[in-house]
Chains A and B, each alone.
Chain A
């Protein structure tokens, strides 16, 4: 009866896996809160004091590479004329500042408070008043998620994938995952085209379409509906194939192992050669 361990084991395993998936899927379907829309510079800390504070922050954290006047150096590009949106995007996503000047920018927690980030961005903007992209105001009321999805599939999915999981670009570059970004960041990226990403507005998207895309990303990409169970990270058929082969076919083969014999039976009576196997 020791062989019963296998069916019992499989059952327990299945229940455990089931419960695990339950937690995941319930978690995924229950969280319907919209992503935080970061309050932006409205009315904005553009007072002389806050600008001075921004300048100080820049001198401490950015000027080593970008220069005291943000005009750039051999190490880093000129920031003048880019506008506050670019600075806010790179700093609030943690891509900047770099830990060492030669490091690759990676997403990490914002080094500064929201207020400090805005002071920094506004100071850079104040160097070239009216030039460059200002931090956009995002208002998702009345945004059309379906249009956003349509535009997303046409313009964003080729790099970020249709589920926003991100993917590898040429030579070690990367289209970043869209999970865990704020609505403001999405709008800034669309309007400024950070790094290798092309500017999508103006051009491919109108202002309303851009807003719709922001709504789709912050509502659906951030909170994908996963009514069918575990979402497998949204990487599609390869992950599904592994589950189908290892969990599906694998479980069936384990069951076959239980049903069948693992060696051709060497029954005691046979080993003794006293009885031939019976012909029924």
Chain B
């Protein structure tokens, strides 16, 4: 296969580089053949496993061993039964000479001048057409993907007098929720809603440290907070009844239920918004109004206040 060394003198093909790499080629041949034979057996097994609707274990095991032996056979062949090398090839530096560069640039410039000469107007109009198309194309490509955010991040389907409704459609009455329990609730017109999900907790009345202006929001120890974490939006579904903590399973922010769901640990920056509740004449829990602040994680337009 070869003729010249790097300095141009012929190299005999009986140079040591052309010797077979293995010290004991016969053994290497046997080994390679054995690997290929094993792969034959495994691949046949794969066929049988497929035919017999075998389990994942047998399908994958036979395929995996077959592929591995097949590959190992190739490698053994290449590593032990081919010229041991090493061989060499020359490499040119990437660095170009100033003359080479200049030649190309000169060519480009001189031909370009012929094309563009005194045709500035054409070039300008062409650029304008391209530019306008790029801007216009942004609309079908981007703008049509979805609606503008508008007030999507500011409101939830919670409205005045909405019933607290469980995911199976049951309305929640005060008697349904013993002290120490919690229930995930939705407004009746948005059961299962991702943004309206709210966690209703019954704590010992009087255990609550009410924030000013929220005196009536948690009647008889029933408090409801948005279940959407103010950190990155996971459902805050983990309630510890003795410590009175709500914990977010995603990043372990901890909110103190008795104190307006203020974050006391972890990355959550803001308390969970509270839903004002009242108990109606039939004993059902209902919302006084919707949330008074955007629920969930922060966003640019949300404003600087808490």
Contacts and interface: CB of A to CB of B under 8 A. Distances in A.
A contacts B directly in the complex (CB < 8 Å)?
A: yes
Contacts, number: 143
B89 interface: yes
Interface residues of A, number: 48
B241 A197 contact: yes
A4 B42 CA distance: 21
Contact of B242 (A3, A195, A258, A277): A195
Contacts of B75: 7, 255, 258-259
A11 B68 contact: yes
Contacts of B24: 1
A276 B176 contact: no
A276 B7 contact: yes
Contacts of A199: 178, 180-181, 241
A173 B243 contact: yes
Contact of A279 (B6, B18, B60, B69): B6
Interface string B5-44: 1110001000111100011100110010001000000000
B57 interface: yes
A267 B86 contact: yes
Nearest to A18: B61
A142 interface: no
Interface residues of B, number: 66
Contact of A158 (B11, B88, B176, B235): B235
A32 to B, nearest CB: 15
Interface string B228-244: 00000001011111110
Given A227-B55, A278-B17, 15 more contacts: A15-B65, A25-B57, A158-B235, A159-B249, A196-B242, A199-B241, A200-B181, A202-B181, A203-B182, A267-B16, A275-B15, A277-B17, A279-B2, A279-B11, A280-B1
Interface of B: 1-2, 4-7, 11, 15-18, 22-24, 27-28, 31, 35, 55-57, 60-61, 64-65, 68-69, 72, 75-76, 78-80, 84-90, 166-168, 170, 176-178, 180-184, 202, 235, 237-243, 245, 247, 249, 254, 265
Interface of A: 1, 3-4, 7, 11, 14-15, 18, 22, 25-26, 154-155, 157-159, 169-171, 173, 193, 195-200, 202-204, 206, 209, 227-229, 255, 258-259, 265, 267-269, 275-280
Question: What are the 5 tightest A-B residue pairs by CB atom distance, in nearest-first order?
Answer: A158-B237, A203-B181, A280-B2, A277-B88, A196-B240
